[in-house]
Amino acid sequence: MGITIAILALIGALGAGLLYIVSKKFEVKEDPRIAEVAEVLPQANCGGCGFPGCAAFAAACAKSEGGLDGLFCPVGGSPVMEKVGTILGMVAEKKDPLVAVVRCNGTCEARPRTNVYDGASSCAVASALYKGDTDCSWGCLGMADCVHACEFDAMYMDSETRLPVIIEDKCVACGACVKACPKFIIELRRRGPKGRRIFVSCVNKDKGGVAKKACGNACIGCSLCFKECKFEAITIADNLSYIDHTKCKLCRKCVVVCPTHAIHEIGFPPPKKEAPKEEASAGATPPPSTPEATPTAETTPPAPVAPTTPSTPTAP
C-alpha cells in the first residue's frame, strides 16, 4: 500500500515538473502596460468602444503603434483617454461628450393607433413582420428593446406617449440602445454646452402630406428651417431635415419657424414672454407735458398807440 502511494506521488511530481517546464518554455509575455491601462478604464464592459470588453480595449490601445486615433472609451470620455495616453506615451484625441437622443415625437395623440399587434413583445420581431400599429412606418414601435439593452438604467418607457425617455445623468453613450433599435430612431449626439442641443425629432422620409397625415408632429420637408439657418447646419434629403450637431450654433431660429414643431430644443431656459403691444402702450408712462410760457410784465410787448387825427385849421 505504501509503495503504491509513493509511486502515485512520484508520478504526480514528475507531471507537475513537466507542466512547469512546458509553461515556461511556451510562456507568452504580456505587455505590462495592458494591465496599467485596464486599471484606469471604468470596467463597464459595455462594448461602446467597439471591443468585447475593457480588457480587449486596453490590449488594443497598448498594441496600437500609430497612436490612439480611432480608439475612444465613451464611458470614461476624454479624462480617461488622457490617462491612457499618459501611460502609453501617446496623445489621446479629445472628443465632446455624447448622449443618446430619441428622434421620434410620435405620441399617442399625434400618431393614433390604427391596428392592434398581437405577437411577441419585441421591436425586432414586430419590425420584421409589419410596419407597426400606426400609419407611420418609420417611428418607434414602443416595445422597449432599447430599454432592455441599456445596462446603466438610463432609459425608461413613458406610459402616456409610449416613447422611450433618456435619463441624461445616467447615459454613458455606449450605443447599445442605438444598435437595439430596428427603426434607427436613436442617435448619439453632442451633449452641447450646458446640456443644450437642438435636433429634428423625426425620421419619416415620406412626402409632406403623407407624413403629416400619419403623424401630426412629423417633419414635412418644407425647408423653412433650411432657409432660416445661416450656418449651413441643416440639410434636407428624402423629404427630411437633419441638423448637424457639429455645425449648429444653437441660435434656435429653426425651432421658431418649424410649422409642425418637429425640431426640439433641450436644456434651454423657457423663452421670455413679450407683453402685448396694447398692454404695453396702456401701461407706458406718458411723456411729461411742457407747460406753456406765461407772459410776464417784462416780456409783455407794449400796447400799440392809437394814431392821432390831425386838427383842421380854422378859417380867419
Residue 264 has pLDDT above 90, yes or no: yes
Topology annotation, domain 30-95? 3-methyladenine DNA Glycosylase II; Chain A, domain 3 (1.10.15)
pLDDT (tens digit per residue) in 8-24: 888 999 989 888 888 87
248 is in an annotated binding site: no
Q: What pLDDT is recorded for position 277?
A: 55
C-alpha cell at 245: 450637431
Mean pLDDT of the chain: 86
Q: What pLDDT is recorded for position 31?
A: 83
Q: What pLDDT is recorded for position 293?
A: 43
pLDDT (tens digit per residue) in 194-206: 999 999 999 999 9
Residue with cell 489621446: 92
Topology annotation, domain 98-266? Alpha-Beta Plaits (3.30.70)
171 is in an annotated binding site: yes
202 is in an annotated binding site: no
Asked if 224 contacts 234 with a C-beta cutoff of 8 angstroms, the reply is no
Residue 156 has pLDDT above 90, yes or no: yes
258 is in an annotated binding site: no
Please count the other Cβ atoms lying within 10 Å of the Cβ belonging to residue 297: 5
Residue 40 has pLDDT above 50, yes or no: yes
User: Could you tell me which residue, 230 or 289, shows the higher pLDDT?
Assistant: 230
104 is in an annotated binding site: no
User: Could you tell me which residue, 156 or 94, shows the higher pLDDT?
Assistant: 156
- The residues with which 243 forms a beta bridge, in sequence order, are 234
DSSP state, residue 231: S
Q: Rounded mean pLDDT of 274-302?
A: 48
Q: Per-domain residue ranges for the chain?
A: 30-95, 98-266
Q: What pLDDT is recorded for position 297?
A: 42
150 is in an annotated binding site: yes
Please count the other Cβ atoms lying within 10 Å of the Cβ belonging to residue 293: 7
| Confidence bin at 270 (pLDDT 50/70/90) | confident
C-alpha cell at 28: 507568452
Q: Rounded mean pLDDT of 213-231?
A: 96
146 is in an annotated binding site: yes
54 is in an annotated binding site: yes
251 is in an annotated binding site: no
DSSP state, residue 114: -
222 is in an annotated binding site: no
Q: Which parts of 219-267 fold into alpha helices (H)?
A: 224-228, 253-257
Residue 305 has pLDDT above 50, yes or no: no
Residue 4 has pLDDT above 60, yes or no: yes
d(CA 101, CA 178): 9
pLDDT (tens digit per residue) in 130-148: 999 999 999 999 999 999 9
Residue 26 has pLDDT above 80, yes or no: no
